[in-house]
Amino acid sequence: MFLFGGREKSSETLGVVLDISDSVINIGIVLSKEDQPLPEIVWSYQELITATQTPKGRESRLTISLLNAFMELSNTGFAALRKREITKLPTLIQVAITAPLAYTVARTVSVTSSKPFKVTQKLFSELEKKAANEAKKSCASQLLTKDLDLEMLSNSTVALSVNGYPTHFPFKSTATEVKLCQMITLSSKKIVNELNKLRDKILPKAEIDMDSFMSIYFRAVLEKAPNTTEACFINSTLKGTELMVLRDSLPVSSTYLAIEMPTNPRSKAVSTATKNVSLQELTTLFKNTGDGLSLPKKMYLHSTSLVESSLISLLETASKSATGVAHQVHSTITEFFLPTGTSPDPLACSAFVFHKKLYEDRYIEESLNMLKYT
């Protein structure tokens, strides 16, 4: 580790993005410029996590892999900054943890009346508290009963609608129905503690923000496609697939399925056998979306380049098998988060989230700012 001197222009911000799954860790340094539509990934590194069968073995391998990733950041990452003559350290470490290492729980509450009522800060706060309590109860019944040693990563309002229309500016409006969605994300206390230790060692002056990957992915897609009201958000790794459904602009809790993805197109026998199993499991996942309704037709996919081409075909087939209708699958890394014609980058989504500051909970802040000018 070394110290930088000098100053950069205030329009430029520098951060570390870290994506953690149970099979690989991706870490990078991102340069964000206000006048640019997309950020620049200055440096990146990938650390594979060796497979092991026991829970303690997996935790141990993950801890070692995190240490290796941060050491690489301290050495080759900071060297890349020196080579670019960038004279400051990153000020934020943005961490996104993928299922099954993180859980994403969403709960929607509402208030309705036959007579119109005003939307006030007090009502908003009451709905937030109610939604958070319901999400916590769900966590306690579904997760904490499994004797998991979990810690909350984030607790934020992620969606709000007035009279059926999504909005960021509800105050002073008149309504007969208000709905608010609160999202809670959790992960292992051991992972959280290890990340804090590594931050203190490598970048002690930087802030650290931790969230589930599905939580930040959901925000990133809606930033690029803000008029989306019905959709499936899918994140697929080499070992599993996570699904979150958006209905009437309000998300529901995500569902995770441990599933081996076909990654070797040259081996027809292995690929065909794996595809058949994957197809059956994905079809079952789509049939059990949690609320008994049919899947939205639009699907936003985030995946590694190793599985993407095979997975798009599988998703189209499995979703049609589950619903009887065709679904449209969008590859978000290439369509939304990278310049046209560039190679896929696993950190593209997280880099975009850092660039747009989507890790911040902006609903209340934006609403209160609106009050100042009305």
Domains and CATH numbers, the chain: 12-99+192-211 (3.30.420.40)
226/134: higher pLDDT: 226
Q: How far is CA 169 from CA 120, 267, 372, in A?
A: 11, 54, 12
Interhelix angle 213-224/348-356, nearest 10 degrees: 70
Note the pTM of the prediction, 2 decimals: 0.87
Query: Which of 8-12, 242-246, 319-323 is predicted most confidently?
Result: 242-246
- The predicted model gives 48-60 an average pLDDT of 71
The pLDDT value given to residue 242: 93
**Cα(29)–Cα(111) distance, integer angstroms:** 44
Say whether pLDDT at 5 is over 80. no
Q: Which of 13-22, 85-94, 172-181, 228-237 has the lowest mean pLDDT?
A: 172-181
Say whether pLDDT at 208 is over 60. yes
The pLDDT value given to residue 52: 63
Say whether pLDDT at 57 is over 80. no
Q: Which of 11-25, 47-61, 100-114, 260-274 has the lowest mean pLDDT?
A: 260-274
Interhelix angle 121-142/363-372, nearest 10 degrees: 180
Mapping DSSP onto H, E and C, the string for 156-221 reads: EEEEEEECCEECCCCCCCEEEEEEEEEEEEEEEHHHHHHHHHHHHHHCCCCEEEEEEHHHHHHHHH
- Taking only Cα atoms into account, the Rg of the chain, rounded to an integer number of angstroms, comes to 21
Say whether pLDDT at 196 is over 90. yes
Say whether pLDDT at 171 is over 70. yes
- The answer, yes or no, to whether the previous bond of 100 is cis (omega within 30 of 0) is yes
The pLDDT value given to residue 14: 96
Q: How many CB atoms lie within 10 A of CB 174?
A: 10
284/171: higher pLDDT: 284
- The predicted model gives 39-59 an average pLDDT of 81
The pLDDT value given to residue 143: 57
Residue 265 three-state SS: coil
| 266-296 pLDDT tens trace | 444 445 656 677 788 888 888 877 565 678 9
| 219-272 pLDDT tens trace | 999 999 998 999 999 999 888 889 999 988 889 888 898 886 665 444 444 456
Say whether pLDDT at 360 is over 80. no
Query: Which of 124-128, 263-267, 287-291, 317-321 is predicted most confidently?
Result: 317-321
Q: Helical H runs in 44-120?
A: 55-72, 78-83
Q: Mean of the per-residue pLDDT values for the chain?
A: 83
The pLDDT value given to residue 258: 87
Count the alpha carbons within 13 Å of 133 in the hemisphere toward its beta carbon.
Answer: 7
Instruction: Decide if 285 contacts 245 (C-beta within 8 A).
Output: no
Q: In what order do the strands lie in the sheet with 92-97?
A: 40-48, 24-33, 12-20, 92-97, 207-212
For 343, left (φ over 0), alpha (ψ -120 to 50), or beta? Answer: beta
